[in-house]
Structure 1
Amino acid sequence: MPSQPVKRSIQWGIWGNETALLGAYVLTIGGVIGIVGGVTQNFLFWLPIGIYGLIFGILMSFLEYPRGKKSKGNTVTRWHQSCFSSMVSKLPVVSNYYYRAFIYFVVCLPTLIIVPTFLGSACVMIGCGIYFGAAAHGESWSPVVPRSQPQRTGGNVSEPPAQPPPRLPQHTGARYAT
């Protein structure tokens, strides 16, 4: 009798986090390029949008840096995630993926205008779509709580084995005769 396949659930919030964080990094770099290009006479209209993209990319990087808690299993945290996690957990709007997707989408629209910030804003828009799908599946952001190490007490420590495990004769170290 064939066994029932294990039903896996995709946690869309984690994919949205990775996509939006990548988009924020690319948007920040595109904002810098827009500022540098806006200084020249030919692309003066790039300067305000480049500044906007740079500021929005940095703020979004701070909001997207901490990973959310998985529903099952262990969550691999990022380096120094706890300080950013406490900041994000104090903002109730950011923990709801519907609000996060809508806010990122609206704030990201002006950065679609110029070429340097277009790729970053496209990645953020894809992340918004993934966040909307995560919200439709009932997910929300929650901080990762670090687990404390269990206290060792004298009664719970097991002793090492007194005898070595049994070995087969070919593994006893005897040399083969040639």
Structure 2
Amino acid sequence: LLYRVVAVLVFVIEYPRGKRAKGRTTERKFQHPFTRFVNRIGFLGRNYFVRFLFHLILCAPLCFILATIMGGLCLFVTSMIYLVAAFKGEQWSPVGLEEKPVEDNKKELKSFRQPKKPPPRAPPQGIEDNHI
């Protein structure tokens, strides 16, 4: 039962995508409630050193049970990735919680006119061009 509760906690923390430093970040489907939860726990959810320790502590008991050793190794690798990211100075930042300006919400759609000429097409293969 404890492993199931911990698995749900890991899912809730890991599911929301963090904002990239550059470029666009798309939200995952149904990410918003999880993003709000991780954002509300503040430092514990954003800091990668905390995530490193959390995953490392979780992987220790899993590595001693044969049935869960692969999951334990996956959590160990995850914790090492978080350790490297923490040393690089990265941290998690929420996606989709920022307020969009009112101007962007009222974008007008421009309708396009129908083309008057059909698109150019290659002549059919095998038909010779005979002019009479």
TM-score norm. by structure 1 comes to 0.56
In structure 1, distance between residues paired with 2:95 and 2:68: 32
Partner of 1:109: 60
> In structure 2, do the counterparts of structure 1 residues 152 and 52 end up closer, same or farther at CA, with 3 Å as the change threshold?
closer
Give unmatched runs, 5+ long, in structure 2. Answer: none
C-alpha deviation, 1:161, in angstroms: 9.4
Q: Which one of the candidate residues 72, 79, 85 is aligned to 2:29? A: 79
Asked if 1:136 is matched to 2:87, the reply is yes
Work out the CA distance in 1 between the residues paired with 2:20 and 2:54: 23
The correspondence of residues 1-178 of structure 1 with structure 2, limited to 5 A, is 51-92=1-42, 93-145=44-96, 148=100, 150-152=105-107, 177-178=129-130
CA contact (8 A) 1:69 1:75 kept: yes
Count of matched residue pairs: 119
CA contact (8 A) 1:109 1:121 kept: yes
Structure 2: how far apart are the matches of 1:101 and 1:136? 11
Task: Report if the CA contact (8 A) 2:63-2:69 is conserved.
Answer: yes
Q: Give 2:35's aligned amino acid.
A: S
Match of 1:76, as an amino acid? T
Counterpart Cα distance in 2 of 1:138 and 1:131? 11
Residues 66 and 81 in structure 1, CA contact (< 8 A), matched pair in contact too: yes
Shift of 1:76: 2.8
How far is 1:146 from its partner?
Answer: 6.3
Paired AA for residue 79 in structure 1: K
Tell me how large the CA RMSD over aligned residues is. 2.8
For 1:59 and 1:163, locate their aligned partners in 2 and report how far apart those are by CA, in whole Å.
Answer: 58
Aligned AA (1:64) = E
Q: Distance in 1 between the 2:26 and 2:52 partners?
A: 23
CA distance in 2, matches of 1:64, 1:82: 13
| Larger relative contact order, structure 1 or 2 (CA cutoff 8 Å, min sep 6) | 1
Q: Which residue identity does 1:152 align to in structure 2?
A: K
Aligned-residue identity in percent? 29
- Aligned partners of 1:53 and 1:117 also within 8 Å: no
Structure 1: stretches of 5+ with no match in the other structure = 1-50
More helix by share: 1
CA distance in structure 2 between the aligned counterparts of 1:116 and 1:146, rounded to whole angstroms: 39
Q: Provide the C-alpha distance between the structure 1 equivalents of 2:21 and 2:64, rounded to a whole number of angstroms.
A: 38
